[in-house]
Amino acid sequence: MPRDGLFGLLVLMLLAGCASSSRDPDSGPTPRQVIADGDARGDVHWGGIVVAIHNLRDRTRIQVLALPLDRRGRPRPTAASQGRFLIDQPGFLEPYEYSRRLIEVRGRLDGFDEETVGETAVRLPVLREAELKVWPQAAEWSTPDSPRIQFGIGINNQGGGVGVGIGF
């Protein structure tokens, strides 16, 4: 393969590696938008930080301060809030394992319920029997939010060869 063709192939590989095919998890309405629209139906992919958890007789109710998600679905704790929402899960969930933790949730909206925030009654959208993911604490995060890309060039003095490498 001529050197121009090899160089062109390397450039194409580099550009293809930078392309993103993942779907933005924040493509649907936020909890604040659902409250404003008054329509709590459909599937959602939300996340945030657990601000309250109450074990009731037959279920656990989780109140979440909604935060935007990064491309992996992890809530971004430094971002502005997108409102609040409730999750009703059957059975008992240990409050210690969920309190103040970042969670990601996928599920179907099932109307609104009244809840209190401080001394104020608020109307919040409810997800029932949703799929939950508890994210590790910040100190446990091992992968950065941005991609890692390395680029290197090597030269061999003895054989006259040149090499190029790209790492992800």
Q: Which residue has the tokens 């209190």?
A: 116
* pTM (predicted TM-score): 0.69
C-alpha 18/C-alpha 168 separation (Å) is 10
What confidence tier does 22 reach under pLDDT thresholds 50, 70, 90? very low
Domain range annotation of the chain: 31-137
31-137 CATH pick, 1.10.1510.10, 3.40.50.1100, 2.40.50.140, 2.60.40.10: 2.40.50.140
pLDDT in tens, 98-147: 999 999 999 999 999 999 999 999 999 999 989 999 998 765 555 555 56
Residues with Cβ within 8 Å of residue 117, at least 6 apart in sequence: 63, 84
What the block records as the tokens of 149 is 């890309």
Dihedral pair phi/psi, residue 98, rounded to 5°? -115, -25
Between residues 151 and 143, which one has the greater pLDDT? 151
